[in-house]
Chain A
Amino acid sequence: NAGVTQTPKFQVLKTGQSMTLQCAQDMNHNSMYWYRQDPGMGLRLIYYSASEGTTDKGEVPNGYNVSRLNKREFSLRLESAAPSQTSVYFCASMGVAGEMGEQYFGPGTRLTVT
Protein backbone atom coordinates (compact mmCIF):
# COMPACT_ATOMS: atom_id res chain seq x y z
CA ASN A 1 0.00 0.00 0.00
CA ALA A 2 1.36 3.39 -0.97
CA GLY A 3 -1.14 5.21 1.30
CA VAL A 4 -1.64 8.78 0.10
CA THR A 5 0.47 9.96 -2.82
CA GLN A 6 0.85 13.48 -4.17
CA THR A 7 2.37 14.85 -7.35
CA PRO A 8 4.39 16.87 -7.94
CA LYS A 9 6.65 17.13 -4.87
CA PHE A 10 7.99 20.56 -5.85
CA GLN A 11 6.72 23.22 -8.25
CA VAL A 12 7.67 26.77 -9.16
CA LEU A 13 5.07 28.87 -10.97
CA LYS A 14 4.98 32.40 -12.27
CA THR A 15 2.13 34.68 -11.21
CA GLY A 16 -0.93 34.00 -13.36
CA GLN A 17 0.03 30.46 -14.36
CA SER A 18 -2.28 27.58 -13.61
CA MET A 19 -1.60 24.09 -12.34
CA THR A 20 -3.27 21.04 -10.85
CA LEU A 21 -2.01 19.18 -7.79
CA GLN A 22 -2.82 15.50 -7.88
CA CYS A 23 -3.66 13.28 -4.92
CA ALA A 24 -4.53 9.60 -4.78
CA GLN A 25 -5.16 7.13 -1.95
CA ASP A 26 -5.28 3.35 -2.06
CA MET A 27 -6.92 2.76 1.35
CA ASN A 28 -10.53 2.78 0.05
CA HIS A 29 -11.24 5.87 2.18
CA ASN A 30 -14.41 7.86 1.66
CA SER A 31 -13.20 11.30 2.72
CA MET A 32 -10.37 13.36 1.29
CA TYR A 33 -8.97 16.78 2.19
CA TRP A 34 -6.68 19.49 0.90
CA TYR A 35 -4.72 21.67 3.35
CA ARG A 36 -2.13 24.36 3.03
CA GLN A 37 0.55 24.95 5.63
CA ASP A 38 2.33 28.26 6.06
CA PRO A 39 4.97 29.06 8.70
CA GLY A 40 3.32 29.76 12.07
CA MET A 41 -0.17 29.06 10.68
CA GLY A 42 -0.63 25.36 11.20
CA LEU A 43 -2.75 23.48 8.68
CA ARG A 44 -5.66 25.27 7.08
CA LEU A 45 -8.39 23.36 5.26
CA ILE A 46 -8.93 24.47 1.67
CA TYR A 47 -11.56 22.01 0.44
CA TYR A 48 -12.76 18.58 1.41
CA SER A 49 -14.80 15.75 -0.06
CA ALA A 50 -16.82 13.67 2.39
CA SER A 51 -17.63 11.09 -0.27
CA GLU A 52 -17.26 10.48 -3.98
CA GLY A 53 -19.26 13.08 -5.88
CA THR A 54 -19.33 15.72 -3.14
CA THR A 55 -17.02 18.62 -2.34
CA ASP A 56 -17.25 21.43 0.22
CA LYS A 57 -15.33 24.57 1.06
CA GLY A 58 -13.03 24.69 4.03
CA GLU A 59 -11.47 27.67 5.79
CA VAL A 60 -9.51 29.16 2.86
CA PRO A 61 -11.11 28.16 -0.49
CA ASN A 62 -10.59 31.39 -2.45
CA GLY A 63 -8.37 30.96 -5.51
CA TYR A 64 -8.75 27.17 -5.61
CA ASN A 65 -11.00 24.58 -7.21
CA VAL A 66 -11.20 20.85 -6.60
CA SER A 67 -12.38 17.73 -8.37
CA ARG A 68 -13.19 14.40 -6.77
CA LEU A 69 -12.49 12.35 -9.87
CA ASN A 70 -13.39 9.01 -8.26
CA LYS A 71 -13.08 7.42 -4.85
CA ARG A 72 -9.28 7.30 -5.10
CA GLU A 73 -8.42 10.70 -6.55
CA PHE A 74 -8.93 14.30 -5.39
CA SER A 75 -7.23 17.10 -7.32
CA LEU A 76 -6.64 20.75 -6.42
CA ARG A 77 -6.44 23.38 -9.14
CA LEU A 78 -4.96 26.86 -9.03
CA GLU A 79 -6.44 28.73 -11.99
CA SER A 80 -4.30 31.86 -11.73
CA ALA A 81 -1.50 31.47 -9.22
CA ALA A 82 -0.60 34.35 -6.89
CA PRO A 83 2.46 34.81 -4.63
CA SER A 84 0.10 34.46 -1.62
CA GLN A 85 -0.43 30.84 -2.67
CA THR A 86 3.20 30.00 -2.01
CA SER A 87 2.86 27.24 0.57
CA VAL A 88 3.17 23.54 1.31
CA TYR A 89 0.05 21.67 0.25
CA PHE A 90 -1.00 18.44 1.93
CA CYS A 91 -3.64 16.01 0.81
CA ALA A 92 -5.20 13.68 3.40
CA SER A 93 -7.78 10.92 3.52
CA MET A 94 -9.91 9.35 6.23
CA GLY A 95 -11.83 6.11 6.52
CA VAL A 96 -15.15 5.34 8.18
CA ALA A 97 -16.73 7.45 10.92
CA GLY A 98 -15.33 5.22 13.64
CA GLU A 99 -11.88 6.44 12.73
CA MET A 100 -12.90 10.08 12.81
CA GLY A 101 -9.89 12.28 13.20
CA GLU A 102 -7.34 9.78 11.94
CA GLN A 103 -6.46 11.45 8.73
CA TYR A 104 -3.60 10.02 6.73
CA PHE A 105 -1.46 12.62 5.03
CA GLY A 106 0.49 12.57 1.79
CA PRO A 107 4.11 13.77 1.64
CA GLY A 108 3.17 17.29 0.53
CA THR A 109 3.76 19.53 -2.47
CA ARG A 110 6.04 22.54 -2.01
CA LEU A 111 4.76 25.31 -4.27
CA THR A 112 6.50 28.61 -4.91
CA VAL A 113 4.79 31.35 -6.91
CA THR A 114 7.10 34.13 -8.14
Chain B
Amino acid sequence: QKEVEQNSGPLSVPEGAIASLNCTYSDRGSQSFFWYRQYSGKSPELIMFIYSNGDKEDGRFTAQLNKASQYVSLLIRDSQPSDSATYLCAVGYNQGGKLIFGQGTELSVKP
Protein backbone atom coordinates (compact mmCIF):
# COMPACT_ATOMS: atom_id res chain seq x y z
CA GLN B 1 0.00 0.00 0.00
CA LYS B 2 1.57 3.22 -1.15
CA GLU B 3 1.10 5.93 1.47
CA VAL B 4 1.40 9.67 1.51
CA GLU B 5 1.19 11.36 4.90
CA GLN B 6 0.61 14.99 5.82
CA ASN B 7 -0.12 16.79 9.07
CA SER B 8 -3.81 17.59 8.87
CA GLY B 9 -3.45 20.85 10.77
CA PRO B 10 -4.92 23.34 10.91
CA LEU B 11 -1.72 25.31 10.54
CA SER B 12 -2.16 28.93 11.49
CA VAL B 13 0.39 31.63 10.54
CA PRO B 14 0.25 35.43 10.67
CA GLU B 15 0.14 37.44 7.46
CA GLY B 16 3.61 37.98 6.04
CA ALA B 17 5.12 34.92 7.74
CA ILE B 18 6.51 31.77 6.10
CA ALA B 19 4.16 28.79 6.05
CA SER B 20 5.83 25.37 5.97
CA LEU B 21 3.87 22.33 4.84
CA ASN B 22 5.31 18.85 5.07
CA CYS B 23 4.69 15.49 3.42
CA THR B 24 6.26 12.04 3.66
CA TYR B 25 5.78 9.10 1.33
CA SER B 26 6.40 5.39 1.68
CA ASP B 27 7.38 4.22 -1.83
CA ARG B 28 11.11 4.72 -2.46
CA GLY B 29 10.50 4.27 -6.18
CA SER B 30 8.37 7.42 -6.43
CA GLN B 31 9.69 9.84 -9.01
CA SER B 32 7.36 12.83 -9.13
CA PHE B 33 5.77 14.99 -6.49
CA PHE B 34 3.05 17.59 -6.60
CA TRP B 35 1.36 20.20 -4.48
CA TYR B 36 -2.29 21.02 -5.10
CA ARG B 37 -4.25 23.81 -3.44
CA GLN B 38 -7.95 23.43 -2.67
CA TYR B 39 -10.14 26.28 -1.48
CA SER B 40 -13.13 25.37 0.63
CA GLY B 41 -15.93 23.98 -1.53
CA LYS B 42 -13.80 24.08 -4.69
CA SER B 43 -11.80 21.57 -6.71
CA PRO B 44 -8.01 21.10 -6.38
CA GLU B 45 -5.58 22.99 -8.61
CA LEU B 46 -1.91 22.29 -9.23
CA ILE B 47 0.52 24.89 -7.82
CA MET B 48 3.91 23.15 -7.85
CA PHE B 49 5.63 20.00 -9.04
CA ILE B 50 9.15 18.70 -8.39
CA TYR B 51 11.04 15.73 -9.76
CA SER B 52 14.65 16.21 -8.54
CA ASN B 53 16.24 16.47 -5.12
CA GLY B 54 16.65 20.02 -3.90
CA ASP B 55 14.59 23.17 -4.11
CA LYS B 56 12.33 24.53 -6.82
CA GLU B 57 11.06 28.08 -6.58
CA ASP B 58 8.05 29.68 -8.26
CA GLY B 59 7.21 33.15 -7.01
CA ARG B 60 6.36 32.95 -3.32
CA PHE B 61 6.29 29.15 -3.40
CA THR B 62 9.26 26.82 -2.90
CA ALA B 63 9.01 23.04 -3.12
CA GLN B 64 11.74 20.99 -1.47
CA LEU B 65 12.43 17.31 -2.15
CA ASN B 66 14.65 14.89 -0.24
CA LYS B 67 14.32 11.43 -1.76
CA ALA B 68 16.72 9.84 0.75
CA SER B 69 14.43 10.90 3.59
CA GLN B 70 11.27 10.39 1.49
CA TYR B 71 10.20 13.89 2.34
CA VAL B 72 8.73 16.74 0.33
CA SER B 73 7.74 20.16 1.60
CA LEU B 74 6.15 23.39 0.42
CA LEU B 75 7.19 26.79 1.73
CA ILE B 76 4.98 29.82 1.19
CA ARG B 77 6.79 33.10 1.78
CA ASP B 78 5.01 36.34 2.67
CA SER B 79 1.82 34.42 3.40
CA GLN B 80 -1.42 36.20 2.51
CA PRO B 81 -4.98 35.61 3.76
CA SER B 82 -5.77 34.49 0.19
CA ASP B 83 -3.37 31.55 0.74
CA SER B 84 -5.81 30.13 3.31
CA ALA B 85 -6.77 26.77 1.84
CA THR B 86 -6.09 23.06 2.12
CA TYR B 87 -2.81 21.96 0.54
CA LEU B 88 -2.67 18.44 -0.86
CA CYS B 89 0.58 16.59 -1.44
CA ALA B 90 0.51 13.99 -4.23
CA VAL B 91 2.93 11.37 -5.49
CA GLY B 92 2.84 10.45 -9.16
CA TYR B 93 3.22 7.06 -10.80
CA ASN B 94 3.94 6.32 -14.43
CA GLN B 95 1.18 3.73 -14.41
CA GLY B 96 -1.60 5.63 -16.13
CA GLY B 97 -0.34 8.89 -14.67
CA LYS B 98 -2.21 8.22 -11.48
CA LEU B 99 -1.62 10.21 -8.30
CA ILE B 100 -1.80 9.14 -4.68
CA PHE B 101 -2.80 12.04 -2.43
CA GLY B 102 -2.13 12.77 1.19
CA GLN B 103 -4.97 13.79 3.46
CA GLY B 104 -4.19 17.50 3.08
CA THR B 105 -3.06 20.24 5.47
CA GLU B 106 -5.42 23.12 6.20
CA LEU B 107 -3.60 26.46 6.26
CA SER B 108 -5.07 29.58 7.84
CA VAL B 109 -3.31 32.92 7.34
CA LYS B 110 -4.45 35.51 9.89
CA PRO B 111 -4.46 39.22 8.95
- Give A residues with C-beta under 8 Å from B: 31, 33, 35, 40-45, 48-50, 56, 58-59, 90, 94, 97, 100-103, 105-108
Contacts and interface: CB of A to CB of B under 8 A. Distances in A.
Contacts of A31: 96-97
Contacts of A106: 43
Interface of B: 4, 6, 8, 32, 34, 42-46, 49, 88, 90, 92, 94-104
A45 to B, nearest CB: 6
B92 A101 contact: yes
Contacts, number: 64
Given A40-B8, A50-B97, A108-B43, A101 B102 contact: no
Nearest to B46: A102
Nearest to A38: B103
A92 to B, nearest CB: 8
10 contacts: A42-B102, A42-B103, A42-B104, A50-B96, A56-B95, A100-B92, A101-B32, A101-B92, A102-B34, A103-B97
Contacts of A40: 8, 103
B97 A94 contact: yes
